[in-house]
Amino acid sequence: MDEEEFAARLAAKGVLLGVRRAPSGDVTGYKFALPTGDESGPIWFSGSKLASDLTQPKIQARFALGVDEPAFPTPDPRTWPADGRHRASTTIERAYPAFDDDQDAARAEAVIRGGLEVLDTLAATSPTLSRKELHQAARALEYTRTAHTRAVGADLRAMRSAARELLHAGPATGRGEDGTAAATILTSLVLLAIVIAKWHAAQGHRHQAAAARTAADHLRAAYTRHAAKPIAHLTLEGRLLPKSDHDRQADAVRRTLPTDQATRLLAEENWAALAATLAQAEAVGHNPTTLLTNAAGRRELATADSPAAVLTWRIRRDANLPTPAPAPTPDELRTRAARARTTSRTTGTPVAPVIAPPAPVAPDQVRRTR
């Protein structure tokens, strides 16, 4: 691949390329941007700030060697960019152990740098309603990097690959499946910011820990904007579950989680959304206990504002469940109840009691999650 092909491939993916040249005509650097649609124009980033392999010497070396980037699947308009966001969220969660007590600063730096690349790409491909918060989170997270530490290892490569896939998947609209997938990846990023803050605090890095907490606050704000509608739909659906279904999902939680975590989770207002998710997964052949075990085993659940919400998005991603449908109207609820009464009188069989629906959940009442 030469410079002309490099520029063509970037243009095909919607990436703007700027080339700095010396008076002699030799290339001295590259810069990159994504169209934002704002009057102020695109925000440019030098290759050296985005990633070590986007510096002028590294890019020129790849041209000389003919080294190409890994190929990604052809985007499917029915599932992209949601699939890219779901896969990136899984990659982020796999990187949490980089901040265990026995890990060194080089691995932590690798994940922080990779997280920045994912966050920058997510901001560039997200709808306007959350873009500002994502940019602010990225600026805060930049201050958490470890000075004089070279980032190396598989964590950085995995996160960088996730960022490239987000870019390849293209912009999201923020509606439907995209909104649910955004809530999923933002949940993972919030928890990443939290583990970074905890790691820096343990190292005595007070300013870096504070910056990570600031990043988490901005990410929570972006999460709330994307999660409000789908979590409200799921909450109502969960409260409409027959009592037998509701109790069965609660029993699965008690069997899977430690007693204190299960008690806290079942007392949450977001528990209804998780119950609906487990019931949907069970209806298409999944085992709720297995899903809960896998989702809860991915760490950092205890630090979340709402463990129920974290588990809801992880399980929906793992079980490949569709976007929550809009909540039923009052007329539809009355029709359901009437049909249930008619069926009961006709068959003479008891109908499981239904948990009464609450008043509609307002978006600003949705509990934010880490």
pLDDT interval class at 310 (50, 70, 90): very high
pLDDT interval class at 20 (50, 70, 90): confident
Task: Give whole-number Cα distances, 187 to 21, 194, 279, 309, in Å.
Answer: 42, 11, 22, 9
Strand partners, 27: 21
Mean pLDDT of the chain: 80
Q: What's the rounded mean pLDDT across residues 272-285?
A: 95
The CA-CA-CA angle for residues 117, 75, 126, to 5°, reads 45
User: In angstroms, how far is the first alpha carbon of the chain from the final one?
Assistant: 42
Cβ neighbours, 10 Å, residue 16: 15
Question: For residue 58, which phi and psi values (nearest 5 degrees)?
Answer: -70, -40
Q: Which residue has the higher pLDDT, 246 or 358?
A: 246
Kindly state the tokens that stand for 46: 């030098």
Region of 148 on the Ramachandran plot (φ > 0 left; ψ -120 to 50 alpha; else beta): left
pLDDT in tens, 209-250: 999 999 999 999 999 988 888 899 999 999 999 999 999 999
Peptide bond into 288 cis (omega under 30): no
pLDDT in tens, 25-58: 778 888 888 877 677 778 888 887 777 677 777 7
Torsion angle, alpha carbons of 216, 218, 221, 227, to 10: -60
Kindly state the tokens that stand for 10: 């970037």
Cβ neighbours, 10 Å, residue 362: 9
Q: What is the largest CA-CA distance in the chain?
A: 91
Give the distance, in angstroms, between the CA of residue 233 and the centroid of all CA atoms in the same chain: 19
Cα 234 to Cα 323: distance, rounded to the nearest angstrom: 10
DSSP-derived 3-state class of residue 172 = coil
Q: Are 242 and 352 in contact (CB under 8 A)?
A: yes
pLDDT in tens, 89-146: 999 999 999 898 777 888 888 899 899 989 988 988 888 878 899 999 999 999 998 7
Q: What's the rounded mean pLDDT across residues 84-89?
A: 90
Q: Are 15 and 32 in contact (CB under 8 A)?
A: yes
Cα 85 to Cα 96: distance, rounded to the nearest angstrom: 17
pLDDT of res. 2: 72
Q: Which residue has the higher pLDDT, 359 or 21?
A: 21
Kindly state the tokens that stand for 365: 């009442």
pLDDT of res. 21: 83
Residues 6+ apart with CB under 8 A from 89: 184, 185, 187, 188, 313, 317
Mean pLDDT lowest for which of 109-123, 255-269, 317-331?
317-331
